[in-house]
Amino acid sequence: MLPRTYDNQVCSVARTLERIGDRWTMLIVRDAVLGVRRFDDFQRELGVARNVLTDRLARLVDEGILEKRAYQERPERFEYRLTDKGMDLWPVLVSLMKWGDRHSPADGGPPTLILHRDCGGEVNERFQCVRCGADVNARSAQAMPGPGSLRRWPSAVL
């Protein structure tokens, strides 16, 4: 779909969007950050067509963003876990979320809060804890339903 000139764009924004520049892809990564791992759980949470989900998961595995692991034999079952490369997309997700909180607010307030796991302080737009000042990353952060949440949270998580 993209023209050849696109390949010539030496730009890390363009290169990133080549890999994750699709709404479903970012929402899969979002759910993976929240702890969703199994095909049926992604499918239920996202309401995405199964063939589209299969395609996007395969691409994310190819890109090294998700890792596919067997968690059961007979019948064999797989789950998808974020790699370190995938976890590094956390700042992109948080930046998208903060923009949405500000410019496309939900009734009642932010649907999701990002908290610093150690002290419970909120994480700001610079990925720092507003309470203790610590630099926060994907592993030291915890997402919680916020005041605007309708509690449609991934059931695999809650």
Applying CB under 8 A, the residues found at the interface with a second copy are 2-6, 8-19, 21-23, 26-27, 30, 46-48, 85, 88-89, 91-104, 106, 110-112, 125-128, 135, 148-150, 152
What is the smallest separation between the CB atom of 136 and a second copy, expressed in angstroms? 10
For residue 157, what are its two tokens? Answer: 């998580």
Which letter does DSSP use for residue 104 in this model? S
What's the closest the beta carbon of residue 75 comes to a second copy, in angstroms?
28
> Can you name the residues that pair with 69 across neighbouring β-strands?
79
Please, which residues have CB within 8 angstroms of residue 44's CB and are 6 or more apart in sequence? 155
Closest CB to a second copy among 72 and 104? 104
Q: H-helix or E-strand containing 110? A: none
Which of helix, strand or coil describes residue 70? strand
CA separation (Å) from 101 to 26, 104, 137, 147? 17, 6, 19, 12
Nearer to a second copy among residue 118 and residue 125 (C-beta):
125
The CA radius of gyration of the chain, in Å to the nearest whole number, is 17
Q: Shortest approach of a second copy to residue 35 CB, angstroms?
A: 15
Whole-number minimum distance, CB 83 to a second copy, in Å? 10
Beta carbon nearer to a second copy, 88 or 118: 88
CB of 74 to a second copy, least distance (A): 33
**Cβ proximity to a second copy, 105 vs 120, nearer residue:** 105
Rank residues 78 and 156 by Cβ distance to a second copy and give the closer one. 156
Residue 51's Cβ-count burial label (10 Å; 0-12, 13-18, 19+) is exposed
